[in-house]
C-alpha cells in the first residue's frame, strides 16, 4: 500500500513600510505633491490613506489620486488648505504598519 501526504505551507509576512515613519513634504503652492508609501508583505498588504485622521476616498476628492497600487498619493494643484497630516496604513493578516506625512505648502511671495 502506498500513501501520499500533501502538505501546504502558507507563509505570511507582516505588512511593512520602507523608510522613515514620519516624513515632512514641502511643496510650492499650485504644484503637485507626491507622498510615497512603499509597502511589502505576504500576502500583499492593502493600503488606506488618511488626512487628519479621516479616511480618504470615502468621498470624491478630485485633487487626489492613488498611484502604484495605492503606494503613492498624488495631491494636485496644492493650496494652503491642503496642508495637513496624512497617513498611509498598510495591513494584511500578519500585521499592520503606518507611515505619517506632514504636508507643508510653501507660498510664492513677491517682494516689492
Predicted local confidence at residue 38, as pLDDT: 96
> Quick one: CA dihedral 92, 93, 99, 100, positive or negative?
positive
Give the residue-averaged pLDDT of 44-55. Answer: 95
> Quick one: CA dihedral 92, 90, 65, 56, positive or negative?
positive
- Give residue 5's pLDDT band: very low, low, confident or very high (50, 70, 90): confident
- Give residue 110's pLDDT band: very low, low, confident or very high (50, 70, 90): low
Distances (CA, A) of 43 to 9, 10, 20, 38, 95: 13, 10, 23, 15, 10
Predicted local confidence at residue 1, as pLDDT: 76
Lowest mean pLDDT among 5-19, 26-40, 86-100: 5-19
Residue 64 has pLDDT above 80, yes or no: yes
> Taking the model in full, what pTM does it have?
0.85
Predicted local confidence at residue 4, as pLDDT: 76
Closest by Cα among 107, 68, 112, 63 to 86: 63
Give per-residue pLDDT as tens, 70-97.
999 999 999 999 999 999 999 999 999 9
112, three cell numbers:
516689492
- What's the CATH class of domain 13-105? mainly beta
Enumerate the domain spans of the chain: 13-105
Predicted local confidence at residue 109, as pLDDT: 64
Amino acid at each position: 500500500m502506498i500513501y501520499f501526504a500533501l502538505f501546504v505551507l502558507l507563509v505570511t509576512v507582516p505588512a511593512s513600510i520602507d523608510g522613515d515613519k514620519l516624513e515632512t513634504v514641502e511643496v510650492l503652492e499650485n504644484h503637485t505633491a507626491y507622498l510615497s508609501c512603499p509597502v511589502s508583505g505576504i500576502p500583499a498588504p492593502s493600503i488606506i490613506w488618511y488626512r487628519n485622521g479621516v479616511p480618504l476616498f470615502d468621498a470624491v476628492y478630485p485633487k487626489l489620486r492613488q498611484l502604484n497600487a495605492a503606494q503613492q498619493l498624488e495631491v494636485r494643484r496644492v493650496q494652503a488648505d491642503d496642508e495637513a497630516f496624512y497617513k498611509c496604513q498598510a495591513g494584511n493578516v500578519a500585521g499592520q504598519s503606518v507611515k505619517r506625512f506632514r504636508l507643508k505648502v510653501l507660498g510664492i511671495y513677491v517682494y516689492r
